Amino acid sequence: MSSIRFKALQEIYNKKPHFVDKIERRSKIFAENVFNETSMRQFMSEAAYKNIKDAVTLGKKIDRKQADHIAVGMKNWAISKGATHYTHWFQPLTGSTAEKHDAFFSLTEEGIPVERFDGSQLVQQEPDASSFPSGGIRNTFEARGYTAWDPSSPAFVYGSTLCIPTIFVSYTGEALDTKTPLLRALSAIDSAATEVVKYFDKNVTKVNATLGWEQEFFLVDKGLAYSRPDILMAGRTMLGHAPAKGQQLDDHYFGSIPSRVIGFLRELEIECMRLGIPVKTRHNEVAPNQFELAPIHEEANLAVDHNSLIMDVMDKTADKHQFKILFHEKPFAGINGSGKHNNWSLTTGAGVNLLSPGTTPMKNLQFLTFFINTIKAVHENEELLRASVASAGNDHRLGANEAPPAIISVFIGEQLTKVLDELEGVSKGKLSPQEKTALKLNVVGKIPDVLLDNTDRNRTSAFAFTGNKFEFRAVGSKANCGSAMTVLNTIVAKQLQNFKKEVDALIDKKGLKKDEAVFNVLREYIKASKKIRFEGDGYSIDWENEAKRRGISNYKNTPDALKVMKSKKAIALFEETGVMNEAELRARFEIELEEYAKKIQIESRILGDIANNHVVPTAIRYQNLLIKNVQGLKDIFGATFRTVGAEQLDLIEQIANHIAMIKKKSDLMRNERKKANGISDAHKLAEAYCYRVKPYFEDIRYHCDKLELLVEDDIWPLTKYRELLFMR
Ligand code: ADP
Ligand code: MG
């Protein structure tokens, strides 16, 4: 086994950076592999084009005949781009994307070879759905599921395949994927926000949620990564002693990007450009071999698709460059893990950012309305937001002494805090003309200047306002952003619906003017949601205690965090907004718990295997060397060998102790696993893995890592942290 490590280390010296030959202008190749406006107009009739447009902007249905026309245009375009196959591209609840390729190629009845693709193949397909998680939905209702075209996310050619973004639902219409609830949440926020925006601008007919994600990841040399069974199987290291140098010198962050990595990024970015993913920034992150990539923000559904797609493209491109890409939230102990900040905002159809202060007091009141309603939504639903980012991997970050905490709080900065404090003092009911003028001049009117100075960004907050958007930082690096985006848009949609009702009631029943009514409701919201706001150090123990006093949740693991999904309040929220029915929500709850239990089960097996079949035998080999040495000393020195060989004897004993502990702990762990596997209730099963199996990980690792320090480097089989993190 140790030979794999040394072979990989040898090979790394011969690996050279690989740069794509031609650097084309990004603007020239952007979206050339996307079936967008331009290509649609070139390859479709005017009528077919209009049908798609209406489907996207007005939600109109596309009938079978129209679909046939669209399919022909799409096929001809795809073939012109070198596509031979097509696939419905969807995001099942496994967390990754799924595709099944079918060739355009077909034979007519007379045996003549042709390329075929018709409307029915475009609109709907029936993948063999039985192997995707359904949380019991398909058992209860109907065994089959189907994929259906989502015309709001354009088709694209990747490699030689035309990929058609689709939703994945059961025959009874229940969602089996991340996209379906997301689309429903986006539709809910569109209507709710449009209604509210009309207080300020009657012409607005559409509001889009926007998302700009920032993807963190690690790159490890492929040979080195594959020499570690834990990285290969679990995507993270389960043991390994900390290297002498980690991230303490802060010399990696924003440092010069290594050549092999630049080669990878360059090819990746070119592929992204072709696929219409507007990647913009790239830089080294805090930890060694950790990097970040971020695009320009887009409409949320498209941005989620693009994030899912890019993770696949990154995986493949990394492989070409002899790297293994790690999306796991915590691939290495002792250094930073990876997240995926979700920058979120709301934008009108005309492109006005509703979370950006404007140039007039009225525009600023509009800003404050959306700003304060978002805070209120988070206040009311912090537990659901926490649940939306819960996963076995993310448990290593959230609440585990690392960015960000498991407590969801909102940071808004000193200046906006002052604005909200002043608004809190607004009189109840009708406002005097003097008060109105003062408000407009001194509070609402001053916001733009204020924000420009508001540069003190708090990096420790899970949900921070950063000038013209909120940044949800608790999302895991491996997660599909769809879950977090579904919850965020749903809770804000619900909040805006409530707001509209309250403001209308004040106008209709109390005879208040529109702006008076808005001020009155906002004042109450500011008061009611104060406890979710926190400006201090979110990583400190003081904040944990303070949050507890305030009654904000602090769930440190997935089984606990997910519980809220079963609450009456959550069910009502999702049902009332039309985002998910109770069965869909329950299914999701079960699937996530099952996935959690499976992940911990797999990790536990891997750890048991590495500890007992790699570490212990190696330690015994080394111990035998020492024993032979001591026997030799005894031959030479006779009775005094104990003094001469004191160090060796001590080592032999230490090794024996660690081996004994590894054996003992892994036996106990295996027993707990056996017991857990007898549990049928998904939540109890997840809890058993969380509270009974997982605690052994640290114990077993401790003794393995101690042995790594004792055993001769030459025979140690597992590639070490310093090699994984610093060689490329
Ligand atoms: P960082 O968090 O690394 O300091 P920024 O705060 O500048 O970086 O965040 C940049 C990210 O914010 C980008 O991914 C960008 O797409 C996103 N972003 C900018 N404006 C918006 C917006 N209106 N809606 C959603 N995302 C946005
Ligand atoms: Mg950020």
Interatomic CA distance for residues 477 and 667, integer angstroms: 33
Low-confidence residues of the chain: pLDDT under 70: 1-2, 128-129, 138-143, 246, 248-255, 401-404, 450, 452-456
Cα→Cα distances 140→127, 147, 171, 192, Å: 19, 19, 11, 33
Interatomic CA distance for residues 168 and 166, integer angstroms: 7
Ligand 1 centroid vs 396 CA: distance in angstroms? 25
Q: From 353, 374, 455, 469, give the residue whose CB has the most ligand 1 atoms within 8 Å, as the site to mutate.
A: 469
| Ligand 1 pocket residue status of 344, Cβ below 6 Å | yes
**Alpha helix (H) ranges present in 275-393?**
300-320, 361-388
Interatomic CA distance for residues 238 and 228, integer angstroms: 10
Give the per-residue pLDDT at 250: 65
Ligand 1 centroid vs 144 CA: distance in angstroms? 40
| Ligand 1 pocket residue status of 469, Cβ below 6 Å | yes
DSSP letter string, 508-571: HHH---HHHHHHHHHHHHHHHTGGGB--S-TTSHHHHHHHHHHT-----SHHHHHGGGGSHHHH
The length of the chain in residues reads: 728
Ligand 2 centroid vs 537 CA: distance in angstroms? 17
Q: Whole-angstrom distance between the N-terminal and C-terminal Cα of the chain?
A: 21
Give the per-residue pLDDT at 96: 84
Interatomic CA distance for residues 230 and 331, integer angstroms: 10
Ligand 2 centroid vs 214 CA: distance in angstroms? 6
Contact between 147 and 166 under an 8 Å Cβ cutoff? The reply is yes
Structure tokens at 560: 């606990």
Q: From 214, 282, 374, 475, give the residue whose CB has the most ligand 1 atoms within 8 Å, as the site to mutate.
A: 214
Interatomic CA distance for residues 506 and 297, integer angstroms: 37
| Ligand 1 pocket residue status of 342, Cβ below 6 Å | no
Structure tokens at 142: 């109907």
SS3 of residue 249 by DSSP: coil
Give the per-residue pLDDT at 139: 59
Provide the 10 A C-beta neighbour count for residue 248.
Answer: 7
Ligand 1 centroid vs 211 CA: distance in angstroms? 8
What residues pair up with 465 in beta bridges, in sequence order?
Answer: 470
Q: Which of 466, 236, 189, 256 is nearest to 341 (CA)?
A: 466
Interatomic CA distance for residues 223 and 359, integer angstroms: 56
| Ligand 1 pocket residue status of 211, Cβ below 6 Å | yes
Angle, nearest 10°, between helix axes 646-677 and 582-610?
A: 150
Q: Which of 373, 580, 610 is nearest to 470 (CA)?
A: 373
Interatomic CA distance for residues 231 and 353, integer angstroms: 42
Q: Which of 615, 718, 611 is nearest to 669 (CA)?
A: 611
Burial class (CB in 10 A: 0-12, 13-18, 19+), 63: exposed
Cα-only R_g, the chain: 29
For the CA of 468, the closest atom of ligand 1 is 23
Angle, nearest 10°, between helix axes 64-80 and 46-58?
A: 110
Q: Which of 330, 339, 342 is nearest to 304 (CA)?
A: 342
What residues pair up with 398 in beta bridges, in sequence order?
Answer: 402
Cα→Cα distances 703→452, 720, 724, Å: 53, 15, 20
Ligand 2 centroid vs 295 CA: distance in angstroms? 12
Interatomic CA distance for residues 36 and 486, integer angstroms: 25
| Ligand 1 pocket residue status of 86, Cβ below 6 Å | no
Give the per-residue pLDDT at 141: 46
Give the β-pairing of 124-125 and 340-348: unpaired
Give the per-residue pLDDT at 200: 95
Ligand 2 centroid vs 471 CA: distance in angstroms? 7
Q: DSSP code of 426?
A: P
Domain ranges in the chain? 31-177, 187-580, 595-726
Q: Which of 324, 133, 329 is nearest to 219 (CA)?
A: 324
| Interface ipTM above 0.90 | yes
Give the per-residue pLDDT at 509: 95
Give the β-pairing of 290-295 and 279-284: antiparallel
In words, the CATH class of domain 31-177 is: alpha beta
| Ligand 1 pocket residue status of 212, Cβ below 6 Å | yes
Interatomic CA distance for residues 314 and 182, integer angstroms: 24
Considering the segment(s) 595-726 as one domain, its CATH architecture is Up-down Bundle (1.20)
Residues 6+ positions from 588 with CB-CB distance below 8 Å: 93, 135, 565, 580
Ligand 2 centroid vs 32 CA: distance in angstroms? 29
Interatomic CA distance for residues 209 and 377, integer angstroms: 15
What residues pair up with 463 in beta bridges, in sequence order?
Answer: 410, 472
Give the per-residue pLDDT at 702: 98
| Ligand 1 pocket residue status of 294, Cβ below 6 Å | yes
Q: Which residue has the tokens 């008076």?
A: 516
Q: Which of 203, 201, 233, 237 is nearest to 218 (CA)?
A: 237
Structure tokens at 433: 């003309």
Interatomic CA distance for residues 332 and 721, integer angstroms: 8
Burial class (CB in 10 A: 0-12, 13-18, 19+), 501: exposed
Contact between 132 and 168 under an 8 Å Cβ cutoff? The reply is yes
CATH homologous superfamily, domain 187-580: Glutamine synthetase/guanido kinase, catalytic domain (3.30.590.10)
User: Which residue's CA is the nearest one to ligand 1's atom 9?
Assistant: 343
Q: Which of 299, 284, 148 is nearest to 213 (CA)?
A: 299
Give the per-residue pLDDT at 383: 98
**Among the bound ligands, the one closest to the CA of 340:** 2
Q: DSSP code of 395?
A: G
Interatomic CA distance for residues 402 and 473, integer angstroms: 12
